[in-house]
């Protein structure tokens, strides 16, 4: 009696050829990933206003004047002059440090120089290099700024033209040939540095 009651309560088995209940479609993770991080992901437009961003206030006349001063050729030349002075001084001290003739007296070459004499010569060479680098840096930067303002473009030609003008101006003190060589050499060096930096 008990077995019959259990069998009556159990649902009748479905026929082998009968319709099966529809299965849930499998979750396709690859499609989901394509929409989240793949090629089908839609980029969000960055709008600061939607995040409660504060709009930047209009610039005052003092700020505009400072920006114009910093973009002027005189400021760029002064900055290059200071940078050239520091770089030249470091280069001069470095070259004096590896030079074996620093501190030696040509009148008495067998005398060992003192540390004070060596430091004095290193300082003199550092100041000399610093002055030269400062002058060249200021000339090059000012010339490049003027050429760029005149042409209205910022490309490698500005460096080549300003390098030629600077090298020629420095070389012409020793003659026309030295000026032409200085122009070509400085222009080639400027082009190489500009190509490397770009």
- Span 120-148, pLDDT tens digits: 888 999 999 999 999 999 999 999 988 88
- Confidence label for 46 from pLDDT (cuts 50, 70 and 90): low
Q: Indicate whether 144 and 92 sit together in one domain.
A: yes
Residues 76 and 87 occupy one common structural domain: yes
For residue 136, which of 73, 57, 80 has the smallest C-alpha distance? Answer: 80
Same domain (yes/no): 135, 162 = no
Domain housing 83: 68-101+111-153
- Helix 115-151 with 73-98: angle, nearest 10 deg: 150
| Local structure of residue 108 (DSSP, 8 states) | B
Q: How many CA atoms lie within 13 A of 16 on its CB side?
A: 0
Q: Does 23 fall in a domain?
A: no
| Judgement on whether residues 119 and 88 belong to the same structural domain of the protein | yes
Q: Does residue 84 lie in a domain region?
A: yes
Please check whether residues 161 and 172 belong to one and the same domain.
yes
Q: What are phi and psi of 159, to 5 degrees?
A: -65, -40
The verdict on 174 and 137 lying in the same domain is: no
Domain count, the chain: 2
- 115, 191: one domain: no
Report DSSP state, residue 11. Answer: P
Whether 193 maps to a domain, the answer reads yes
Is 137 within a domain? yes
- CA-CA distance, 190 to 129, in Å (whole number)? 19
Identify the weakest region by mean pLDDT among 43-52, 118-127, 158-167.
43-52
Q: What is the mean pLDDT of the chain?
A: 77
178: in domain: yes
Residue 87: per-residue pLDDT: 94
Q: State whether 147 and 72 are in the same domain.
A: yes
User: In the structure, what pLDDT confidence band is assigned to residue 151 with cuts at 50, 70 and 90?
Assistant: confident
Per the domain annotation, does 120 fall within a domain? Answer: yes
Q: Are residues 79 and 136 in the same domain?
A: yes
What pLDDT sits at residue 6? Answer: 42
Each residue's pLDDT tens digit, 82-121: 999 999 999 998 888 787 777 777 777 677 778 888 888 8
- The per-residue pLDDT for 183 is 92
Which residues face 108 on adjacent strands? 105
Answer whether residue 56 shows pLDDT above 70: no
- Rg of the chain, C-alpha, whole Å: 39
93 and 145 together in one domain: yes
What global pTM score does this model have?
0.59
Mean pLDDT of 40-47: 59
**Inside any domain, residue 51:** no
Q: What is the mean pLDDT of the segment spanning 34-45?
A: 62
Contacts of 138 (CB under 8 A, 6+ apart): 77, 78, 80, 81, 84
Identify whether residues 125 and 177 lie together within a single domain: no
Q: Are 88 and 132 in contact (CB under 8 A)?
A: yes
Whether 69 has a pLDDT exceeding 80, the answer reads no
Length of the chain counted residue by residue:
198
- Residue 187 lies inside a defined structural domain of this protein: yes
């Amino acid at each position: 009696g008990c077995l019959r009651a259990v069998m009556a309560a159990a649902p009748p088995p479905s026929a082998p050829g009968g319709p099966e209940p529809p299965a849930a479609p499998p979750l396709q993770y690859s499609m989901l990933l394509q929409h989240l991080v793949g090629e089908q992901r839609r980029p969000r437009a960055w709008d600061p206003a939607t995040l409660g961003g504060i709009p930047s206030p209009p610039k005052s006349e003092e700020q505009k004047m400072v920006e114009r001063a910093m973009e002027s050729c005189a400021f760029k030349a002064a900055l290059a002059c200071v940078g050239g002075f520091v770089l030249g001084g470091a280069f001069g001290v470095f070259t004096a440090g590896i030079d074996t003739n620093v501190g030696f007296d040509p009148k008495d070459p067998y005398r060992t120089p003192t540390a004070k004499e060596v430091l004095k010569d290193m300082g003199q060479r550092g100041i000399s290099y610093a002055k030269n680098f400062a002058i060249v840096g200021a000339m090059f930067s000012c010339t490049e700024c003027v050429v760029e303002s005149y042409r209205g473009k910022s490309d490698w030609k500005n460096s080549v033209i300003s390098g030629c003008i600077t090298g020629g101006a420095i070389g012409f003190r020793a003659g026309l040939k030295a000026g032409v060589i200085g122009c070509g050499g400085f222009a080639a060096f400027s082009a190489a540095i500009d190509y490397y930096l770009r």
